[in-house]
Amino acid sequence: MRSIALGIVLLTHSAFAVENSLGHCLYLIKQRPQKAIELYRQRYRETEEHDYEIVRTMATLLLQKASEAEDLETRMLATYGAGLSASNIAFSILEKSVESSDPNLQLVGIFFLAQMHDNPSRRALEKAATSSPFLSTRAEACYHLARRQEMHAASYIHALMSYLPPFFRPFFPQFFAASGSKESNAALRQLLQDTNALVRVQSILSVVQHQRDDFLPLIRRKASQRNLAEMEACAYALGALADTASAPILEMLANRSPMNVRIAALKSLYLLGDQSKAKDLELLALSHNAFAVQALVGVPGTEDTLYELVHTKNRQVHANAVMALLAQKDPRACPHLIPLLIDKSKDLGFRMQSSIGGAQSILKVVTLRPESTEEGKKDRLVSNMIKEKLLRSAMRLPQTHFLSVIRALLKSADKTFVPCIMGLLKNLRTEPVLTLLKEQAEALGSPLVRNYANLILFALQEPGPYKERVYTWLGTIAKGETVEIHPPLSLAERQGIDHYGLSAKEKSQLLLDTCNELLLRQDKCSLDRVLAAMETMQEKTRVALAGLLIRTTE
């Protein structure tokens, strides 16, 4: 009996010791995070069991402490980490970021709040829409409330529009069109008849964007207006909304109007079934009109014309011809795509340029502002997003041609697109892709490419030394690597970009992707490896990874 009693005492003492050590981890995590993680890992080695609730709580406390830091960069990473967590646990950090005095921090908070669909996130967005001192924040919040079709979205949009001078009114039709409420529809109808032609044009484009064919009768009546921008927008809308009854109106616009209106009308007539208009568009494209070149996208049989235009010395026409040929899934675009993606001078980039009526857009080659400035960083971010769109379009080509583009990019000195490339290759998973990844996993020259290739092969569970290499890399790099995120873009800055996501810079993205892949495995060893890396990391890097810990332990 005595031995049994002693055993019970020892077991109780052991359980208390384990519980006490875990409690001590939580006590230390804010003051001495390295020590806290070390104690937790020591406990794991003794028991070979993880306590996910403790891990999650430690990560949450790390984020909370960082969100209170005086250093703006640390607070930014805390907000980013809270967003990566995709958890209501970190909601208070996102809410706090929207109340900060920094507009970029507010935009990061709103970006992640918009991905949550519950009442607390709605209230936070409403507060940002009504009380932020920054126009970009209020506009962003209104935009997301409209997209979510929240009940009172129209009221917040109206309040912001009345607060601003008339100069800003063209920005608002897209909000009302997205909202779709009775009040928003009434507001959009008023804006379609606004005294300012630019407001009317943006209202027409917003109607098309949200496929609001209930406004077609009004657009038909407006098509005969004398304002060129409005005529173009109407010509585009009638085709995009498949209004077959408007064919006579479009014929009139195609025969009598200036070039931008004529191109929009011809393309609409083609979309409505008049295939003879394809020849008219080809002739306009051959006259080196870049908008006509883009109008050939989606018109089968025009590939040879586009290929001819690829060889022009006109830089703008050349770029748009390559883009259009790529959209037509013609592999002849490949040799010409590579120089567009790899700019050796690093001074040239891309921006989307709209026509006078905003109904058509072309790729414009521009000189980028210095990278040392905030504007220059955003220039490059926008340009790179456009290039990534071109790269994703190349995925639809025959795989041998797509991989020829990928090989050229991986060999180049510019490693900007490595995270995007590896994400695309991961989704393909064919034998030629696996062969390429295995080649890159052994290649010398670029550690970023090599380590990403090992990571993707590990993620795809390919046989080989990839798991050990990932573990080794993480243990080596964790001590010195810092996480940096790209500056957030406001609604106005990302006009013309159809795919926007807040992302980390290339090496930072590799670190995040590596830890994410390990944590997704949900095995004991992988979690311990990530915690081991976090134990030796710089504080700011540890903060960003805390969000991943929360997401994968819930």
Which single residue is written with the structure tokens 């980028």?
368
Q: Which residues, other chains included, contact 7 with Cβ-Cβ below 8 Å and sequence gap of 6+? A: none
- What is the rounded CA–CA span in Å between residue 468 and residue 480? 20
Q: Is 132 within 8 Å of 98 (Cβ atoms)?
A: yes
What pLDDT is attached to residue 537? 86
**For 382-402, how does the pLDDT look when each residue is reduced to its tens digit (9 = 90+)?**
999 999 999 999 999 999 999
Token pair of 78 as six digits: 């805390």
Token pair of 524 as six digits: 């004991």
Closest CA to 80 of 458, 547, 448, 506: 547
Q: Is 235 within 8 Å of 264 (Cβ atoms)?
A: yes
∠ CA 415-419-422, nearest 5°, is: 110
Q: Is 547 within 8 Å of 83 (Cβ atoms)?
A: yes
For residue 505, give the amino acid letter: K
- What is the rounded CA–CA span in Å between residue 431 and residue 541? 36
Closest CA to 204 of 192, 221, 195: 192
- What is the rounded CA–CA span in Å between residue 85 and residue 519? 12
DSSP assignment of 140-184 equals HHHHHHHHTT-TTHHHHHHHHHHHS-GGGGGGSHHHHHHH--HHH
- What is the rounded CA–CA span in Å between residue 541 and residue 515? 12
Q: Which residues, other chains included, contact 245 with Cβ-Cβ below 8 Å and sequence gap of 6+? A: 220
For residue 428, give the amino acid letter: L
Q: Is 499 within 8 Å of 385 (Cβ atoms)?
A: yes
Token pair of 7 as six digits: 């055993």
Q: Which residues, other chains included, contact 182 with Cβ-Cβ below 8 Å and sequence gap of 6+? A: none
How far CA 303 is from CA of 71, 164, 320, 404, 417, in Å, comes to 54, 47, 13, 21, 28
Which single residue is written with the structure tokens 């304002």?
227
Question: Is the alpha carbon torsion for 262, 264, 267, 271 positive or negative?
Answer: negative
Would you write out the chain's pLDDT as a tens digit for each of its 554 residues? 444 443 333 233 333 344 467 788 888 888 899 999 999 999 888 888 899 999 999 999 999 999 999 999 999 999 999 999 989 888 999 999 999 999 999 999 999 999 998 999 999 999 999 999 999 999 999 999 999 999 999 999 999 999 999 999 999 999 999 998 999 999 999 999 999 999 999 999 999 999 999 999 999 999 888 899 999 999 999 999 999 999 999 999 998 779 999 999 999 999 999 999 999 999 999 999 999 999 999 999 999 999 999 999 999 999 999 999 999 999 999 999 999 998 777 788 999 999 999 999 999 999 999 888 888 999 999 999 999 999 999 999 999 999 999 999 999 988 999 999 999 999 998 999 999 999 999 998 899 999 999 999 999 999 999 999 999 999 888 776 778 888 898 888 888 777 778 888 888 899 999 999 999 988 889 999 999 999 988 888 899 899 999 999 88
pTM score = 0.88
| Buried/exposed code over 279-298 (b: 16+ C-beta within 10 A; e: otherwise) | ebbbebbeeebbbbbbbbbe
